Amino acid sequence: MVYVTERKIGGRDYTIRNATRLDSPNDIEFFEEIAREFPDTSTDAPGEFSSTFALENAESLEQDMGSSKALYLICEDSKTKEYVGCGAIYFCRQKRRAHTADICNIATKKEYRRQGIASAIIEELERVAKNNGVESVCLVCMAPDADALHFYAKRGYFVCGSMYQYLKLEDGRYVTAYYLQKYLK
């Protein structure tokens, strides 16, 4: 799926476009950074989302884009091309599930937060979803992540379920995952 749109966010110009395999190194570096920042809510253990996953990541970005069943968006500064955030949507293949889609990997680089970048990315994903006949979107959010829960709640997402002991951290603590849903129409 080819996607590109220009957005003015907080007075600056950003390009929101689909990822390609060339984005893989930036994507990996970014999620390693996020895992270091949020060690208790990251699905990947420290160092797990490392360069050993580089090829897999590149291939999956490419396959996802080629399948028309997913859209992985990167937000970059239009001038400097710096990778500042991302977000993805995965559509369901089965006819009975085609009215729903999963959103994941919503994140903004620390120094670019609170400017409207994640809001712009999620709006784009929801727009694409709606245009493809999707009626409701779902995502998973880890429990202690109050900021993220607040972010989604303000954008119309509600908690529709949870899974206790979703993650088991290295020190034996468990983390609950919340399932969030939003009706698009």
Ligand X SMILES: CC(C)(COP(=O)(O)OP(=O)(O)OC[C@H]1O[C@@H](n2cnc3c(N)ncnc32)[C@H](O)[C@@H]1OP(=O)(O)O)[C@@H](O)C(=O)NCCC(=O)NCCS
C-alpha 166/C-alpha 5 separation (Å) is 36
| Range in contact with ligand X (rule: CB under 6 A) among 66-74, 110-118, 125-133, 166-174 | 110-118
Please report, as a single letter, which amino acid is at residue 112.
Answer: Y
Q: Beta 136-142 vs 100-108: how paired, if at all? A: parallel
For ligand X, give the closer residue by CB, 65 or 118. Answer: 118
* Residues in 6-65 at the binding interface with ligand X, rule: CB under 6 A: 10, 34
Residues 129 and 107: beta-carbon distance below 8 Å: no
For ligand X, give the closer residue by CB, 73 or 117. Answer: 117
Q: Of 26, 60, 100, 115, which lies in the binding site for ligand X, with binding defined by CB under 6 A?
A: 115
Element (H, E) at 129: helix 117-131
**Of 130, 33, 105, 118, the residue nearest 75 (C-alpha):** 118
The count of residues interacting with ligand X (CB under 6 A) is 19
Work out whether 75 is an interface residue with ligand X (CB under 6 A): no
- Give me the least distance between CB of 96 and ligand X, in Å please: 26
Q: Of 151, 157, 177, 182, which lies in the binding site for ligand X, with binding defined by CB under 6 A?
A: 151
* DSSP assignments along 133-148, one per residue: T--EEEEEEETT-HHH
**Of 133, 142, 57, the residue nearest 106 (C-alpha):** 142
What distances in angstroms separate CA 184 from CA 15, 90, 101, 116, one per listed residue? Answer: 24, 15, 11, 20
Work out whether 88 is an interface residue with ligand X (CB under 6 A): no
- Give me the least distance between CB of 104 and ligand X, in Å please: 8
| Range in contact with ligand X (rule: CB under 6 A) among 17-25, 54-62, 101-109, 125-133 | 101-109
For ligand X, give the closer residue by CB, 20 or 115. Answer: 115
For ligand X, give the closer residue by CB, 62 or 156. Answer: 156
Work out whether 145 is an interface residue with ligand X (CB under 6 A): yes
Residues 142 and 152: beta-carbon distance below 8 Å: no
Binding site for ligand X (CB under 6 A): 10, 34, 106-108, 113-119, 141, 145, 147-148, 150-151, 154
